[in-house]
């Protein structure tokens, strides 16, 4: 790759990871700009991973105040009221992350991302969204898709002992390494809207149940006008009613969205399970690094993790994948 060489300082700091992904990938990373909107535990894990990896710029957006729920999965903020009161989550996280790696520029942006002009997104290579409704996720996704240069979108959701990552790389071409050489590989990603609109009957066989459970809760929150995390186990009766409606409409047996799974996802309310955040934030970090560096096979287009069975599953939920 053209461009400046890494500095001696960078070479020393990133030595061990350059041995994993190479100098070119490291240079691309150092030029990349990532936006993270919504700083839940998984997003914070992700931010840490990107700052350590040496991404060029990281912009944070989350003007919520610090709450107990926030603190319990956040390792960037000391639980000292005198320190955090009156300050927003993004300011506090920014301050702490800057300290992790002086070579990364960490900044904050104020405002409502879903209301921003499309041009705002042009400077980013990837946008990570969490802590917002399905409607807002879709709106941001559409804005990213309409930009002349690809702005990748990642949406994360962590509910109790389960987590989900949605990825939209639009049209992504990369060189795939194979045992017998290399091959150009083209992937066409659907938008979030397109992906979740695919009739359940048309989905590949054996799709993770977490997918359906996430959709049911998401629809519930949308109809109630809530943000993720504002739903709890007390909402279960209403959610079960919605489950029946959706399953009937999609001709899917309700047993594919087990009550026990919904219960596990709702039990903790707004509190995240830190091991799930660490795992999900790690997988997300790896995916963003892959997409930016053009190295490695990117995941298409959903990832699910469930502590109950310990599986981390990739599902391709797109029209091209239906059979």
Partner 1 sequence: MASGSQLEAIKGAKVLMVGAGGIGCELLKTLALSGFQDIHIIDMDTIEVSNLNRQFLFRQCHVGQSKAKVARDAVLKFRPHINITPYHANVKDPEFNVEFFKQFNVVLNGLDNLDARRHVNRLCLAAEVPLVESGTTGFLGQVTVHVKGKTECYECQPKPTPKTYPVCTITSTPSKFVHCIVWAKDLLFAKLFGDKNQENDLNVRSNDGTNLTAPTEDVFERRTDEDPEQYARKIYDHVFGYNIEIALANEETWKNRNKPRPLYVRDVLPDNLIQQNGSLENCVTEESVVSSMLSLGLKNPQDIWSLSENSRIFLEALRLFIEKRQKDVGNLTFDKDDQLAVEFVTAAANIRASSFGISLHSLFEAKGIAGNIVHAVATTNAIIAGLIVIEAIKILQGDFENCRMTYCLEHPSRKMLLMPVQPFEANKSCYVCSETPLILEINTRTSKLRDFVEKIAKNKLGMNSPMIMHGSTLIFEAGDDLEEDVAANYALNIDKALAELPAPVTSGTVLTVEDLRQELSCNINIKHREEFDEEKEPDGLVLVGWIAPTQKDTRLVSNGESTSTAHPAVTEMVENSDEVGIAPAKPGTKRKLSEMSEITDNVHDITPRSSRDVNDQVNPQEVEDDNDDVDDDIVILDENPETRKKKRLQ
**Touching partner 1, residues 278-317 (CB under 8 A):** 278-279, 281-283, 285-286, 289, 296-297, 299, 303, 305-307, 309-315
Q: Interface residues for partner 1 in 76-135 (CB under 8 A)?
A: 76-79, 99-102
State the binding string over 63-82 for partner 1 (x if CB under 8 A, else -): ---------xxxxxxxx---
Q: Which is nearer to partner 1, 168 or 306 (CB)?
A: 306
Whether residue 129 contacts residue 12, with contact meaning beta carbons closer than 8 Å, is answered with no
Least separation, in Å, of the C-beta of 307 and partner 1? 5
* Cα separation, 302 vs 102, whole angstroms: 33
Q: Which is nearer to partner 1, 45 or 218 (CB)?
A: 45
Least separation, in Å, of the C-beta of 112 and partner 1? 29
Distances (CA, A) of 73 to 146, 175, 181, 229, 277: 34, 37, 43, 13, 8
Strands 181-188 and 302-306: unpaired
Q: Which of 18, 34, 92, 162 binds partner 1 (CB under 8 A)?
A: 18
Q: Which is nearer to partner 1, 181 or 225 (CB)?
A: 181
Least separation, in Å, of the C-beta of 136 and partner 1? 25
Q: Interface residues for partner 1 in 133-152 (CB under 8 A)?
A: none
Q: Which is nearer to partner 1, 294 or 296 (CB)?
A: 296
Q: Which is nearer to partner 1, 103 or 242 (CB)?
A: 103
How many chain residues are in contact with partner 1, going by CB under 8 A? 83
The H-assigned helical ranges of the chain are 8-13, 15-31, 41-53, 68-72, 81-84, 89-98, 134-145, 192-197, 209-224, 236-250, 259-266, 274-293
How many CB atoms lie under 10 A from the CB of residue 42?
A: 30
Q: Interface residues for partner 1 in 151-170 (CB under 8 A)?
A: 160-161
Q: Which of 3, 11, 183, 319 binds partner 1 (CB under 8 A)?
A: 11
Q: Which is nearer to partner 1, 56 or 160 (CB)?
A: 160
Q: Interface residues for partner 1 in 200-219 (CB under 8 A)?
A: 200-201, 203, 205-209, 212
Cβ neighbours for 118, distance < 8 A, ≥ 6 positions apart: 143, 146, 147
Give bridge partners of residue 59 from the DSSP assignment: 35, 107
Which residues of 78-170 form beta strands (DSSP E)? 105-108, 126-129, 152-159, 162-168
Q: Which of 171, 186, 260, 323 binds partner 1 (CB under 8 A)?
A: 260
Residue 129: asked if its preceding bond is cis (omega within 30°), the reply is no
Query: Which tokens is 85 given?
Result: 């009161």
* Cα separation, 206 vs 63, whole angstroms: 39
Q: Interface residues for partner 1 in 23-62 (CB under 8 A)?
A: 23, 41, 45, 48-49, 52-54
* Cα separation, 149 vs 127, whole angstroms: 13
Is residue 323 close enough to count as binding partner 1 by CB under 8 A?
Answer: no
């Amino acid at each position: 790759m053209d461009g400046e060489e890494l500095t001696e300082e960078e070479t020393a700091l990133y030595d061990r990871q350059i041995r994993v992904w190479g100098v070119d990938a490291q240079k691309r990373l150092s030029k990349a700009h990532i936006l993270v909107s919504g700083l839940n535990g998984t997003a914070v894990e992700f931010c840490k991973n990107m700052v350590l990896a040496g991404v060029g710029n990281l912009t944070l957006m989350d003007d919520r105040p610090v709450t107990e729920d926030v603190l319990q999965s956040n390792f960037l903020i000391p639980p000292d009221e005198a320190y955090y009161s009156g300050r927003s989550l993004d300011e506090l996280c920014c301050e702490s992350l800057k300290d992790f790696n002086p070579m990364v520029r960490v900044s904050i942006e104020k405002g409502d991302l879903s209301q921003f002009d499309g041009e705002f997104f042009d400077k980013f290579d990837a946008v990570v969204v969490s802590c917002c409704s399905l409607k807002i996720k879709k709106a941001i996704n559409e804005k990213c898709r309409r930009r002349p240069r690809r702005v990748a979108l990642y949406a994360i959701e962590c509910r109790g002992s389960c987590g989900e990552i949605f990825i939209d790389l639009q049209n992504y071409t990369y060189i795939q390494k194979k045992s017998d050489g290399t091959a150009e590989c083209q992937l066409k990603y659907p938008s979030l809207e397109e992906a979740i609109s695919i009739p359940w009957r048309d989905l590949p066989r054996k799709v993770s149940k977490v997918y359906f459970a996430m959709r049911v809760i998401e629809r519930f929150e949308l109809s109630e006008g809530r943000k993720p995390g504002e739903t709890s186990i007390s909402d279960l009766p209403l959610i079960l009613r919605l489950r029946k409606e959706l399953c009937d409409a999609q001709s899917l047996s309700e047993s594919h969205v087990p009550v026990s799974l919904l219960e596990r996802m709702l039990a903790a309310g707004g509190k995240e399970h830190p091991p799930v955040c660490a795992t999900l934030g790690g997988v997300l970090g790896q995916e963003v690094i892959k997409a930016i560096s053009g190295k490695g096979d990117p995941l298409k287009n959903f990832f699910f993790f469930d502590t109950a069975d310990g599986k981390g599953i990739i599902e391709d939920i797109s029209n091209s994948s239906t059979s």
